[in-house]
Amino acid sequence: MGIGDRFGKFLKDELDCRSVWPPVLTPMQLGDYGVTDGASFQKLGNITDFGLTLEIEVGQPSSLNLVSSGVKQTRLAAGAAVPAFQGLGNVAAKLGIEFSRSESFVLKCRRVERTQIRNLGALALRLSRARTADGQAWKHLAWKIVWQLYSGCDVVFLATRGAGTRVEFSGSADALQQLEMGSLSAGIGVQTSHSLGCEVLGQSGPVGYGLARVKVIGAGVKFFSSDLEEEEADAVEHLSAEEPPLESLADEDEPAADAGPVTADPAAPTKEPS
């Protein structure tokens, strides 16, 4: 298991979402669509390319502090070990982080915010007949949509390849207290004993996301976890005679977001369009 895989497992357990790898550094937006390659997502475009408008809703912000197993943190202030930096002011201090295992990480976000597409159901209905400017049709089975996004502000992320790596931050106790809360301020020094697999200090960007796939038959929505076996099992849809063909959706006027399924003609073909 690599660093990215281990990080993905932690985010799945903590936030029930997929991990952006590398976090913050990888551009990602709500409405991005593409294909999955194992645990990774390969972007092809954004569904706004099909002339659709996203309605975004925002959840309550929170903080995030994730440390994988085998990570030890030590705190020194004025040369003595302390349990915390809170209330120690401008005393010279050090925060040591030691990775006793390979492929370990520390993630701290002063603020993490979840956003998602509110009108995904309505968009699913429209995608069946939407086209890009150059006439490209939507590929329902192959393409998935980023419908949910976790964005971190003032992210501190450290990931190591090998065991025994040590990272030491030095500065005032106040500054290191803020660092532990996920905010990197000026005047903090950083030293590492080995090169890190990934290092993000004080930047903001995406750390996790959720995927969905819209279905042309019945215009439903399928949500994906990070379970690859679930994705593989869903690669082929088994359609019933009760589900309407694509033509019945294309002939309709713009339906409401909560419109129910359309009853199909029993004689209608049930083969899903390619």
Average pLDDT across each block of 10 residues of the chain; the chain has 274 residues. List them in order: 82 88 95 89 95 95 88 94 94 95 90 94 87 91 94 93 92 92 84 89 94 74 62 44 41 40 40 42
Looking at residue 252, its pLDDT comes to: 41
Tokens of 8: 């993905």
Residue closest to 106 by CA, chosen among 72, 63, 154, 75:
72
- pLDDT for position 254: 42
| 3-state DSSP assignment of residue 236 | coil
**The predicted structure's pLDDT at residue 229:** 46
Distance CA 42, CA 33 (A): 8
Q: How crowded is the C-beta side of 46, counted as CA atoms within 13 Å? A: 11
* Angle, alpha carbons 185-186-189 (nearest 5°): 100
Amino acid residing at 75: R
